[in-house]
Amino acid sequence: MACGFRRSIACQLSRVLDLPPENLIKSISAVPISRKELKVADFQLSVDSLLGNNDYSRPDIQVQATQLAEKLKCDTVVTEISTGQGTVNFKINRELLTKTVLKQVIEDGSKYGLKSELFSGLPQKKIVVEFSSPNVAKKFHVGHLRSTIIGNFIANLKEALGHQVTRINYLGDWGMQFGLLGTGFQLFGYEEKLQSNPLQHLFEVYVQVNKEAAEDKSVAKSAHDFFQRLELGDMQALALWQKFRDLSVEEYIRIYKRLGVHFDEYSGESFYREKSQEVLKLLDSKGLLQKTIKGTAVVDLSGNGDPSSVCTVMRSDGTSLYATRDLAAAIDRMDKYNFDTMIYVTDKGQKRHFQQVFQMLQIMGYDWAKRCQHVPFGVVQGMRTRRGDVTFLEDVLNEIRLRMLQNMASIKTTKELENPQETAERVGLAALIIQDFRGSLLSDYQFSWDRVFQSRGDTGVFLQYTHARLHSLEETFGCGYLDDYNTACLQEPQSVSILQHLLRFDEVLYRSSQDLQPRHIVSYLLTLSHLAAVAHRTLPIKQSPPEVAGARLHLFRAVRSVLANGMKLLGITPVCRM
């Protein structure tokens, strides 16, 4: 594996540079594959990274690289040492490279890349990830979908690295909408519809009562009164609210299961309606709470009356707001989980909200506020189903399945499948996730169903197709060849390119773990799939001598294993037939 080669290079460098090998390992990187040319070196050392500069054009850097290269010697691991622009390059013994990489991929299985020295000494942490967080009775909009798949990726990655992760879905299950919903259900609700399709029916009631409240002041007053009854703990009002919530959570669990997403806790704003009053008392006792002329309560985060730094924490009627409940939730989670890091995954429109929440925690005396992190993402435009704008997550999943089934039916190579609906959904979800994860999470993008479902090019469909095709190779030839192979048979450029690319997997995982961006893994897997497609065309197994066939099959098996590992981290379930 790459870390073994890195350590070998680092040990030789340490003798010359008089530095501990541990200080050098992260400066030695696997050279990325270029599709245009076969790379000469497998690893490179950036001379500037040792000096803490980034100016590769400086003549003295080039001189230092040359001088360093002259002091190094080839050995049983490194067969060639050269210099590039500000770098010292190392070529690994080809047979050793082949044998080591294939052995490591198969032995480490799902842990390949995660056992790397890049992660050594990584302390195991308690991490809370809050994501998805839809509002009961309101649209499950595309922002919630992005939060769901991004949060799931972050939680998967942290878990894979050995951290103790708690996944929280913080539902919008409190607030004035429940006053409207309670009144609306008494006016237009049907128990049978609520039981059979709670999310749909509550949404319909919510839309209808909003319309009525805008035209009829008595309906608006009734809604306000219902919410006040909720806030005061009226048993009848709370029983109806609890029913709405329980049925909605049940439905969410069913739908998230289709997405391959689970949560350890379904929390919500309702949990903190009482604790938020304690937060207000605490703010007041610290002299941070200021009353306005309107009767609301605010916290001045600037300390000098700057209106842009004022955060409202209480309404004029004494009830709490979203920010107050978020403060109460953060304090409660620290008591409950004693987390090292808490990550909130929401759209970038909430950036200021979280800055204010973290700042308020800090001035309240909670030093752990610096352990809280907001991972923001951009806006998706143009996601419409054939029925119109997306209202529910289930609409998206049904649309994905329907479109993918139609695509599969039109492709001649589609295999007979035991469960075509499930396969279509898994391939469709891969397509959706890859489109979403290809760029920076902060970027806005225009959604296109046509682009999502392209089978060629850099798409999720192509990833799933590659995985299924490689699995089919193993099924067809596996038993006869997997025990009989000679790594010396894998010296063709196509084989070497794949092996060199497999070397880099740990670096890609490390990069994603640092900035929580899935695009590094996506780009890596797409390149791996393209390399596998070329190798599949040019390195046949059928009619090749047994040791050649066995070696190639081992190579393809390693590709499929790493492809599956990466896909699972992204939240994609690999398919074996399509």
State the average pLDDT over residues 523-545: 94
Q: How does residue 57 score in pLDDT terms, banded at 50, 70 and 90?
A: low
Q: Is the pLDDT reported for residue 325 higher than 60? A: yes
* Residue 138 known to be catalytic: yes
More confident residue, 89 or 449: 89
pLDDT tens by residue, 422-434:
999 999 999 999 9
What integer pLDDT is reported at residue 274 of this predicted model?
85
Domain 4-92 CATH (choose: 1.10.260.40, 3.40.50.10470, 3.20.20.140, 3.30.1360.70): 3.30.1360.70
Asked whether 235 and 190 are in contact (CB, 8 A), the reply is no
The amino acid occupying position 298 is: V
What integer pLDDT is reported at residue 85 of this predicted model?
85
DSSP secondary structure of 70-112? HH----SSEEEEEEETTEEEEEE-HHHHHHHHHHHHHHHGGGT
Mean pLDDT of the chain: 89
What integer pLDDT is reported at residue 192 of this predicted model?
94
Q: How does residue 480 score in pLDDT terms, banded at 50, 70 and 90?
A: low
Which has the minimum average pLDDT: 14-23, 31-40, 554-563?
A: 31-40
Q: How does residue 483 score in pLDDT terms, banded at 50, 70 and 90?
A: low
Q: What is the separation of C-alpha 565 from the centre of its chain, rounded to a whole number of angstroms?
A: 14
Q: What percent of the chain has pLDDT over 70?
A: 94
* Residue 115 known to be catalytic: no
Q: How does residue 546 score in pLDDT terms, banded at 50, 70 and 90?
A: confident
CA distance 99 to 74: 19
Q: How does residue 38 score in pLDDT terms, banded at 50, 70 and 90?
A: low
Q: Is the pLDDT reported for residue 90 higher than 60? A: yes
* Residue 99 known to be catalytic: no
**Domain boundaries along the sequence of the chain:** 4-92, 390-570
State the average pLDDT over residues 452-461: 84
What integer pLDDT is reported at residue 453 of this predicted model?
80
State the average pLDDT over residues 432-445: 93
pLDDT tens by residue, 374-421:
999 998 887 766 666 666 778 888 888 998 888 888 776 666 778 888
Q: How does residue 102 score in pLDDT terms, banded at 50, 70 and 90?
A: very high
Q: How does residue 499 score in pLDDT terms, banded at 50, 70 and 90?
A: very high
CA distance 307 to 300: 8
Asked whether 307 and 316 are in contact (CB, 8 A), the reply is no
Q: Is the pLDDT reported for residue 233 higher than 60? A: yes
Record: fold of 390-570: Isoleucyl-tRNA Synthetase; Domain 1 (1.10.730)
What integer pLDDT is reported at residue 52 of this predicted model?
59
Asked whether 202 and 136 are in contact (CB, 8 A), the reply is yes
What integer pLDDT is reported at residue 419 of this predicted model?
86
Catalytic site residue from 141, 201, 471, 536? 141
What integer pLDDT is reported at residue 398 of this predicted model?
87
Picking from 53, 64, 60, the residue whose alpha carbon sits closest to that of residue 16 is 64
CA distance 97 to 74: 15
Q: What percent of the chain has pLDDT over 90?
A: 65
Catalytic site residue from 138, 193, 243, 275? 138
What integer pLDDT is reported at residue 455 of this predicted model?
73
Q: Is the pLDDT reported for residue 140 higher than 80? A: no
What integer pLDDT is reported at residue 39 of this predicted model?
67
pLDDT tens by residue, 191-203:
999 999 898 899 9
pLDDT tens by residue, 355-373:
999 999 999 999 999 999 9
β-partners of residue 345 are 375
State the average pLDDT over residues 150-165: 98
Tell me the residue ranges of DSSP E strands in 302-366.
310-314, 341-347
pLDDT tens by residue, 341-357:
999 999 999 999 999 99
Which has the minimum average pLDDT: 23-37, 81-95, 381-395?
A: 381-395
Q: How does residue 61 score in pLDDT terms, banded at 50, 70 and 90?
A: confident
Catalytic site residue from 91, 139, 144, 158? 144
